Structure 1
Amino acid sequence: MDTQQITAPPCARPVASRGSAPSSGVIHINVRHAAGFTVIGNHLAQHRGLSLVAVGLAVHIQSLPAGAKIGIKRLAERFPESETRIAAALRELEATGYLHRSRERLADGRIVTRTVSCNQPGADTASTTATPLRRAKRAPVCAPREPDPVPEPAPAPVPQAPQAPRPPEPQPPPAPQPQPRSAPASPMPVPAPQPAPIRVPLPTARTAPPAPLPQPHTLTPELQRTAAAVLADLRRGTPQLSLTEADIHTLTPGVAAWLERDAHPDTIRQALTADLPVPVKHPAKLLRHRITTLLPPPLPGAQDLAPPTRPRAIVIPLQNCDRCDRAFRSRHPGHCRDCRADLSTAA
């Protein structure tokens, strides 16, 4: 009876021994930061109107030092999101007041984009610590964009019954008020007026439709089979260009147009796999662009390669004059020039 049973499972710890940890949900393990940290408000971290991309982008922008580049292309190089998603997130931050972008023209004529990041939209920026940009020129107060208020209709006047006039009540005499002391006038510096910045609207991106995929004149079974084999074999030497069956079926007519123009499969493979970007995000779109833009012209025929023929010189035959038997060039027999002159003189 006194032998310890080692096969028995250990008892679960009571909830009281776990301290203040909750019974469910997330458990925080917080370590106090001594350096290299940024204070982020819960109004941003728990914002219900912003997407996760916008919240993360706002946190990244607030952690950057003053003067850092936060253009769309620079952020797209830093993060895996596309330029379209980053531009949409910046518009969300601008609509909620966490970001303010404006175009200004400098004294030398250049146009620059001023970007102001606000960690607390709607707060008074005059009481905060002034940055170099605010010392030179007062920065705009970031505030969320609100729709224009709809004017409410004025209430109709309610007719009231006429009341009898009341007798005037006696008014008490006014109490004497102390005269304020006149403070010595001190000259206040008048700030010099600054010209308002010229607002330039942001350029809109041109959405041009992509060029159509080239099509062969006649898609024979041999061309279709060879083109599909060329596309499927790309992943053997270039694993980044792994295509699905649907992508191969879509791109097969374009490669068949190359084969129809007497392009060798090795030439097609070299044109489609040379100088690939790192990383390759959309292999099918990249191959479609290269198949369309790098399409070679048809090979010239034998008649096109023949040297141009020069026009033959017209040779006028020789004729003997019927009068003096002198030779002269003419298309028709008759008299020479001298004989014709003599005959005309005699006539």
Structure 2
Amino acid sequence: MDTQQNTALTRALAEVPGPLPTSGVIHIAIPHTDRFTVVGNHLAQHPDLSCTAVGIAVRIQSLPQGIEIGIKALAARCREGEKRIAAALCELEAFGYLQRVRDRLPSGRVITRTVFCNQPTALLRPRRPAAPQHPAAPAPRPASAGAPAEVPTSAPTRAQAPTSAPAPAPAQVPTSAPAPAPTSPPEPDTPAPPHVPPPPFLAAHPTPLFVPLVPPPTAPKPPPAPLPRPDELTPELDRAATAFLSDLRRHTPQLTLSETDVRQLAPGVAAWLERAAHPDAIRRTLTTDLPHPLRHPAKLLKHRLTALLPPPLPGSQDLAVPARPRITVTPFQTCDDCDRAFRSPTPGHCRDCREHRAHRTEATRTAA
């Protein structure tokens, strides 16, 4: 009798369509009629933004135009301190929700405008300006004989306040034949709108500002990798793999396999044995850190045999260190005439002495 029943909540839960979940959140969606802000799931469920940044973004989005949203102004409105608000603003600026643009006023003064976009990825898409809509003018009705002509009057605007003076009587217009309505010349084809370049604060982001890291549930999943197989399934490998899988239940009772599962998984174990993997190492890899409860042991073994397959052992030639190329060094020699050192494979004279000897020999031949 002491437990208070919330009849309003009970009535609201009864109006939720479909069966209620046994766990998790239950949404009671009551439509808003005033004082509400539309927030996209790309912001509310952003995987890389902190909850503080998401909350600050929602607070900024709910404020009217022209409100100051600096660090001190937001700290006066929120319970968070200035450091957390500054970090949140930096996160929003990194993902394109908040931008600061420098603009020059007609007076020559340079100011910084703070721009908040509720959907930054939409700014990167080319947008077409809306075509101007010309309201159709009502067709004039011919005036009948003896009837007063109707003079069109414009609707009163907000600047023109209605007066309490009596309206004048309709003027009598002499009866005449209705004038034909003037035909307007055909309008030329509307030219294509010129390409509008993106704002300067988007020029530094050629790629989308927000790319979801988690694919949607409806995205196609890649096919699973096939079970590895040995290059040659010999009877010895098949018998050893079958015995290994049948013996797993001795060490781990959760991995009790049927005969069909053993026949399907035997080629995978044979591939491990062909690559010189020790049976104890294979058993340790397959039985360590098992989930609780284990519902599908065959699927788990197939996944581990495929994903954790070791590479084949390298051969002796693969482990040999390649020989370094030998570098031939030309030794130093001493010139026989001037005792100058020079590099040459054989002893003799340096370059200057050889040139001097060549000139002297040519001069001797010329003199002779």
Which TM-score bucket, shorter chain as reference?
0.3 to 0.5
Question: TM-score of the superposition, structure 1-length normalised?
Answer: 0.42
